[in-house]
Amino acid sequence: MVRRLSRGAIAAGLVWMASAGAVSAAPAMWEVRDRDSVVYLFGSMHVLRPDVRWRTRTFDRAYAAADRVWFETRADLPADQVRALVDRYGVDPDRSLTQKLSPTALATLRPVLDRDGVPLERVERLRPWAAAMMLSVAPMAREGGEAASGVDAATTRRARAAEKPIATFETFEQQLRVFAELPEQAELDYLDDVAREQLSPPRDGVALERAWLRGDMGRLGGRLADRMRVQRPALYDALLRRRNLAWADRLDAEMRQGGGTDLVVVGALHMAGDEGLPALMKARGYAVRRIQ
């Protein structure tokens, strides 16, 4: 069971913020425009409770106008492919997790596993980043959160049903390799950060859930993206900065071809700050305005 949970959690938890309860909301959204092209940027949550009502008229209008919808990666990859890739990049057959952890980090991790009823032995072969991902998603799962209700999966189903074209910035394998290619210390720092967060809830959780639903990018950027950039620069560079730059270059190339409308649905942190997608597209000379 824990093995299945870890695979699903890793696939679902590539952005580690949860959602709130049954409330209406207006998550942040931008319009990027030039003479003959429009791109709508929507900051998503990958894991949500089924009762979260996040869609708005503004989002639905953008979706209806879009000739194509972009995602970070496929949200409907077959389960057997997900399992194979997670096993390839998230498991270490040679060195156990406890061999990599310091005594202090192990002492922090143990009570989190005990709380969730997970014996340490059952995560021993996970790489630190994979263990961190599993832990980050567990509280969402306990509260009813699921990837199937997340923005990406729900919008993918909607687009598939309507036969609306879908594009992705990365393959799922490329996305896992972002984590797998982290320096080992960055992986260990990530796991330790997640474990400490779990030991002292609600440090940021509720505030960040509400911030996303309200579209409060100042709080999201300040509490997560900016803090990561200062405290965990290697993690920030790999997970946000380099990927944002690559995605902005891709969108720039698409807009230069001209004549279309696209909707981009990626994790909310990719929209935050002066290295988020809205700022990067503005720096490339496009007209950018917040529409929600």
DSSP state of 271: G
Quote the CA–CA distance of 125 and 135 in Å, as a whole number: 15
Q: Tell me: the pLDDT tens digits for 136-165? A: 877 777 777 788 889 999 999 999 999 999
Q: What average pLDDT does the chain have?
A: 87
- 14-53 confidence digits (pLDDT tens): 443 333 333 457 999 999 999 999 999 999 988 888 888 8
Write the pLDDT tens digit of every residue in 218-269: 887 767 788 889 989 999 999 999 999 999 999 999 999 988 999 999 999 9
Which of 24, 41, 14 shows the shortest CA–CA distance to 210?
24
Express as a percent the part of the chain with pLDDT over 90. 62
Q: How far apart are CA 163 and CA 57, in angstroms?
A: 21
- Percent of the chain exceeding pLDDT 70 equals 88
What residues contact 209, with CB distance under 8 A and at least 6 apart?
Answer: 17, 18, 19, 20
Q: Report how far Cα 149 is from the mean position of its chain's Cα atoms.
A: 14
pLDDT band at 135 (very low <50, low <70, confident <90, very high): confident
Per-range mean pLDDT, top range of 75-79, 229-233, 276-280: 276-280
How many beta carbons lie within 10 A of that of residue 45, not counting itself? 24
3-state secondary structure of 262: strand
Residue 12 confidence (pLDDT): 45
pLDDT at 104 over 80: yes
Residue 17 is given by DSSP the state -
Amino acid sitting at position 251: L
